[in-house]
Structure 1
Amino acid sequence: MRGLIIRFAFAEQVSVQPQTYLKRAFKEATVEMAINPINPYHQWFIKLDGKSVKTQQRNILAVPSPQLAACIAQEFNLQKEFLSFKQMPLMMLARNAIDLDYDATNREYIEKTIISHLENDIILHRRNQNSQLLKIQQQQWDPQLRQFNSRFGMDIQANDSIQIASLSQQNKVKIESLIRGLNNWQLVSLSSKADNLKSCILAIQLSYGLVDLNKALSLCNIENYFNKKLTETENPQESDEEDNKISMNVQAAQLFSSLIYSQSILY
């Protein structure tokens, strides 16, 4: 379905629909401070030619910090003839967080999705027949699992069988408590990391500063890197594009979480 930017002249708003591509119909995206915002996470507006942007759920796009607002405005300004939301990960994260702030109906689903990433975590499941790859996985992943268990008081074990083991009730309660303690902005950031890394463990480690970004990206790609060394990829360009997309999304989610609380006297 062809996307449209819908203008509401009387309200001075632009509605951003969820389609992948939209024709650019603005000259410049700018940042504006909100006056007496009710929600402290909605302090800075991103405006297109002076018009407020609205989310998929018709909520005004407003973010916690001027730095995050400036980065999202830059994403808009870098767009060409057509907007590509795939190239606007910060805006998409902010949109999701804002809609959760106004309607938390989907929050439980997001929480359960993150937990499912833990149950299917690449760090836990080493189902392969190559002993060399298994050794590399053990060397690289086991320290991360030990650190995760120690930091968060869990006793999750790696599993090399085909059957995916369920989390113990104790571990499930602890991970649920950790996730439910996050605000909506932290939650959408963690969800994006877990989805792209295919690892709740790496996503949480990254969020808490227990592993750096480049290390997390390399750890989630151990099997792919190993297989590339053994055989020539049928379509290396497609493989590289997927790696680049994952890297961009994880970097954006990490930047997003760091900019939630940033402030500056320059604005």
Structure 2
Amino acid sequence: MFKYVMTSLKPLHTSRVICRSNVGEIRTYATLPKRFYKETNILRSEGKFEVTLDQRKLKTPMGNVFAVESEPLALAVATEWNSQKDKIIQTKMHLTTLCNTVIDNPNHLNKHDIVNYIVNYLDTDTVLFQANEDEELLKFQVMQWDPIIEWFNNRFEANLKKSIQMDIPPASDQDKNLLTKHLMSYNFAAVNGFMYCVDTLKSVVLSLACTERFITPERAVLLSRLEEEYQTGHWGRVEWAHDLSQQSLQARLSAAVLFVHFNSQSNKIQSKTTN
């Protein structure tokens, strides 16, 4: 639905790399910001957990103090920042991005807005529309996708219908109401995580199957790319393209699943006291 990029404690000053193409066109690219801190840590303040970089508090792009309610989530975000090498690659810090989106809420959304977005995605869900022009591909989709649809219907007492004609609504109002009730039981942060899953997989069914631990993130990504996997099985795989794309989606999805779980329960790590 939207992507929100983070910043650090202060605006990251970026220089520009100027490249000249063969046709004489000049293009400029922002260079990656250098890592400007040595250590990351977390601290507790007013019942929430903050991330520090060299004892200075991390802030969101809108200048808010970066504070979350889950201690494991704060530790995971600190680990993201600590894992940066000489350069800070913001696009690979998915948990930080999700937290910034929840804290700043740049699009001024409420929980009901996000739940509606997710539920209405059922109308174009990847696994509910199967091929009818390729018999072999259709058999492959039936074998791989139908068990996931069956699990979804059993788990949520729904009655989703797959389509091979592209003209039959796969979800009834009753199905949508059931899913709405389920998602509204989560907090605002968690439903942001669900939305991140759906945008990554283009499927509500696969997203719920993954967050409910029926399938792994790796399996969910493969199922979301089923037609592409089918085609590469026939025509070959370009490692630098297909593999990198698959790994990028797995990283995004894994972060979103963690984000949902971290925000769905009270997570605090108790330090052991020594006598």
Task: Give the TM-score normalised by the residue count of structure 1.
Answer: 0.82
- 2:177 maps to 173
- Greater mean alpha carbon deviation, residues 91-100 or residues 197-206: 91-100
RMSD of aligned residue pairs (Cα, Å) = 2.8
Q: Contact 1:16 / 1:54 at 8 angstroms: preserved in 2?
A: no
Q: Which of 230, 240, 245 is 1:242 aligned to?
A: 245
Q: Aligned equivalents of 2:244 and 2:271: distance in 1?
A: 37
Query: 2 CA distance for matches of 1:230 and 1:65?
Result: 46
Given candidates 47, 51, 56, the residue that maps to 1:51 is 56
- Summarize the Cα distance change of 1:246–1:52 in structure 2 as closer, same or farther, 3 Å threshold: same
SS at match of 2:126: coil
Q: Structure 2: which 5+ residue stretches go unaligned?
A: 14-29
| Separation of aligned partners in 1, 2:156 and 2:74 | 33
How far apart are 1:139 and its partner, in Å?
Answer: 1.4
- Give the aligned partner of residue 92 of structure 2: 87
Task: Specify which of 99, 107, 111 is matched with residue 104 of structure 2.
Answer: 99
Q: Give the CA deviation at 1:221.
A: 2.3
Match of 1:253 in 2: 256
Q: Deviations over 1:12-31 (max 9, x none)?
A: x54689x9954432222211
> When the two structures are aligned, how many residues end up with a matched partner?
250
Does the residue aligned with 1:82 lie in a helix, a strand or coil? coil
Q: 1:107 to 1:84 in 2, by over 3 A?
A: farther
**Is contact 1:90-1:253 (8 Å) kept?**
yes
Shift of residue 163, structure 1, vs aligned partner: 3.0
Identity of aligned residues (%): 25
Point out where structure 1 has 5 or more consecutive residues left out of the alignment: 7-12, 38-42
Q: Are the aligned partners of 1:15 and 1:58 in contact in 2 as well (CA < 8 Å)?
A: no
Amino acid at match of 1:226: Y
Q: How does 1:1-267 map to 2 (within 5 A)?
A: 14=10, 21-34=32-45, 36-37=46-47, 43-100=48-105, 105=109, 107-163=111-167, 165=169, 167-233=171-237, 235-260=238-263, 261-266=266-271
Match of 1:10 in 2: none
- SS, match of residue 167 in structure 1: coil
Q: Give the letter for the 1:250 counterpart.
A: L
TM-score by length of 2: 0.80
Q: Secondary structure at the match of 1:105?
A: coil
Question: Matches of 1:128 and 1:59 in 2, distance apart?
Answer: 51
Query: C-alpha separation between the residues in 2 aligned to 1:174 and 1:81?
Result: 48
Q: 3-state SS of the aligned residue for 1:83?
A: coil
